[in-house]
C-alpha cells in the first residue's frame, strides 16, 4: 500500500491514524513534492505513526522523482506539530515555523503552560489546597495523555517563515495565509492558480472546528472564515481532518451562520435566566446531556469561549456561588 492519495495534481494526502490512547484520531498531512517540497502538518510523534508517514513520503519521492524535505505545521496544537522533530530526524527534513509558533512548541513545558487556562469559565479558583490538588491532577492527566498520544516538542534547528511567504512546488506556488481563531498561531497554504486551500483545522467537512480557552478567539475565527469564503476562485479546501470540501462557499457560509447562531443562543439562555443567573455547568449539560465527562470536557470548549467573549464585550457578568460561576446579563 502506497500510504498516500493524490487529491489534485501534485498534492498528496498522507492519512495518519493513532489508535491507542484515550482519544483515537486521524489526521490528514499534505505533501507537496518539488525541488524543495513541503509536508504541511506532521501529526503525532508516536513511533508507529511517524514510521507510517516516513514510508509514505519515501514511496512518494520514488514515484514522483521529486523531494519532500521540508515540514511545516499548520498550528501549535499537539496533533499537528508532534511529528515534526521525529520526521526531521528520520528523513533529514528542514523544519519551518512561524514566529508565533516558536514559543508554544519548543519544549513540552512551554506547550503545557501555553494551554493552561489562566481563568476557567466554569470553575472559580479555590483555596490553595484545592488548587494544588487540581494542578496535580491536571499534570498527571497531561503526562499520561502526552505519552499515549505521542506529543513531542519541536526541538533542533528551524527556519523562520512568515505570513505572505511563498513556496514553489510541483503543484505551483503556495502562499502562507494567516488563519487565527481555532488557535492564535494558525496558518494556511493557498494556491491562487488552482483555487486550492490547505486549511488546517479551520474548515472541516462534517464537524465544527473545536474552540476553547485559552488560545481560541471567536471573533478572530469568524474573520478567518470570512476571509476563506472571500478567496477569489476558491474551489477546494483540503482539511486536516475528514473529507475534502468540494463546495467551499456553501461550507464556509454555513459555518459562519452556525457560529453566529451559537453566540446568539448562549446570550439568549443567559438573558432568559434573569436575575438569578445561569450556572455554567448547567449550560454545558443542557447541550450535552448524555455525553461522558471526557468527551464533554472537550466539547464544552466553545461554550467556555463564548461566555468569556460575552464577558469581555460587557454583555454578561458572573459571580461565584458554591464553587461554580453563575452568569447574568447586564
The three cell numbers locating residue 325: 460561576
The three cell numbers locating residue 89: 530526524
SS3 249: helix
- Tell me, yes or no, whether 224 and 94 share the same domain: yes
* Predicted confidence (pLDDT) per residue in 225-248, tens digit: 999 999 999 999 999 999 999 999
**Residues paired with 18 in a beta bridge:** 25
Rg, the chain, Cα only: 21
pLDDT band at 160 (very low <50, low <70, confident <90, very high): very high
pLDDT band at 145 (very low <50, low <70, confident <90, very high): low
- Tell me, yes or no, whether 59 and 181 share the same domain: yes
- Tell me, yes or no, whether 164 and 240 share the same domain: yes
Please give the tally of structural domains in the chain. 2
Helical axes 301-312 vs 218-229, angle rounded to 10°:
100
Cis bond leading into 214, ω under 30°? Answer: yes
* Predicted confidence (pLDDT) per residue in 161-220, tens digit: 999 999 999 999 999 999 999 999 999 999 999 999 999 999 999 999 999 998 999 999
**Residues paired with 200 in a beta bridge:** 239
Residue 79 belongs to domain with CATH number: 3.60.15.10
Among 228, 216, 211, smallest CA distance to 177 is for 228
- Tell me, yes or no, whether 67 and 86 share the same domain: yes
Res. 321: pLDDT tops 60: yes
Q: If you ran DSSP here, which 8-state letter would residue 234 be given?
A: -
For residue 120, tell me if it sits in a domain: no
pLDDT reported for residue 196: 98
Q: Which domain holds residue 83?
A: 5-109+151-256
Q: Count of CB atoms within 10 A of residue 237's CB? A: 25
* Predicted confidence (pLDDT) per residue in 86-131, tens digit: 999 999 999 999 999 999 999 988 888 887 765 678 878 655 555 4
Domain boundary among 240, 256, 272: 256
For residue 226, tell me if it sits in a domain: yes
- Tell me, yes or no, whether 297 and 242 share the same domain: no
Alpha carbon of 203 to those of 79, 231, 297, 312: distances in Å? 16, 14, 22, 26
For residue 74, tell me if it sits in a domain: yes
Adjacency order of strands within the sheet including 172-178: 166-169, 172-178, 187-191, 196-200, 236-239
Alpha carbon of 297 to those of 195, 259, 281: distances in Å? 37, 19, 11
Residues 187 and 75 sit within 8 Å (Cβ to Cβ): yes
- Tell me, yes or no, whether 321 and 179 share the same domain: no
The pTM is what?
A: 0.92
- Tell me, yes or no, whether 320 and 296 share the same domain: yes
- Tell me, yes or no, whether 193 and 251 share the same domain: yes
Residue 303 belongs to domain with CATH number: 1.10.10
Residues 45 and 82 sit within 8 Å (Cβ to Cβ): yes
Res. 144: pLDDT tops 70: no
* Predicted confidence (pLDDT) per residue in 16-55, tens digit: 988 765 566 899 999 999 999 999 999 999 999 999 999 9
Amino acid at each position: 500500500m502506497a500510504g498516500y492519495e493524490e487529491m489534485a495534481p501534485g498534492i498528496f494526502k498522507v492519512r495518519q491514524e493513532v489508535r491507542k490512547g484515550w482519544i483515537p484520531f486521524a489526521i490528514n498531512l499534505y505533501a507537496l513534492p518539488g525541488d524543495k517540497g513541503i509536508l504541511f502538518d506532521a501529526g503525532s510523534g508516536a513511533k508507529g505513526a511517524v514510521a507510517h508517514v516516513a514510508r509514505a513520503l519515501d514511496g512518494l519521492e520514488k514515484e514522483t522523482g521529486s523531494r519532500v524535505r521540508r515540514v511545516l505545521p499548520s498550528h501549535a496544537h499537539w496533533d499537528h506539530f508532534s511529528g515534526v522533530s521525529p520526521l526531521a530526524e528520520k528523513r533529514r527534513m528542514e523544519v519551518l515555523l512561524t514566529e508565533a509558533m516558536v514559543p508554544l512548541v519548543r519544549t513540552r513545558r512551554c506547550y503545557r503552560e501555553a494551554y493552561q487556562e489562566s481563568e476557567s469559565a466554569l470553575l472559580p479558583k479555590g483555596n490553595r489546597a484545592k488548587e494544588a490538588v487540581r494542578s496535580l491532577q491536571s499534570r498527571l492527566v497531561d503526562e499520561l495523555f502526552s505519552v499515549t498520544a505521542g506529543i513531542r516538542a519541536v526541538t533542533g534547528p528551524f527556519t523562520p517563515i512568515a505570513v505572505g511567504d511563498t513556496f514553489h512546488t510541483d503543484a505551483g506556488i503556495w502562499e502562507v495565509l494567516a488563519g487565527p481563531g481555532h488557535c492564535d498561531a494558525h496558518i494556511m497554504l493557498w494556491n491562487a492558480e488552482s483555487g486550492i486551500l490547505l486549511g488546517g483545522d479551520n474548515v472541516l467537512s462534517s464537524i465544527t472546528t473545536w474552540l476553547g480557552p485559552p488560545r481560541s478567539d471567536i471573533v478572530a475565527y469568524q474573520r478567518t472564515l470570512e476571509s476563506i469564503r472571500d478567496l477569489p476562485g476558491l474551489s477546494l479546501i483540503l482539511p486536516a481532518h475528514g473529507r475534502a470540501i468540494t463546495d467551499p462557499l456553501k461550507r464556509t457560509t454555513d459555518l459562519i451562520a452556525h457560529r453566529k447562531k451559537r453566540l446568539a443562543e448562549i446570550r439568549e439562555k443567559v438573558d432568559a435566566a434573569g436575575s438569578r443567573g445561569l450556572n455554567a455547568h448547567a449550560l454545558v449539560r443542557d447541550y450535552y446531556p448524555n455525553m461522558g465527562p471526557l468527551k464533554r470536557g472537550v466539547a464544552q470548549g466553545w461554550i467556555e469561549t463564548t461566555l468569556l467573549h460575552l464577558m469581555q464585550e460587557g454583555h454578561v457578568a458572573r459571580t461565584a456561588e458554591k464553587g461554580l460561576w453563575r452568569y447574568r446579563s447586564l
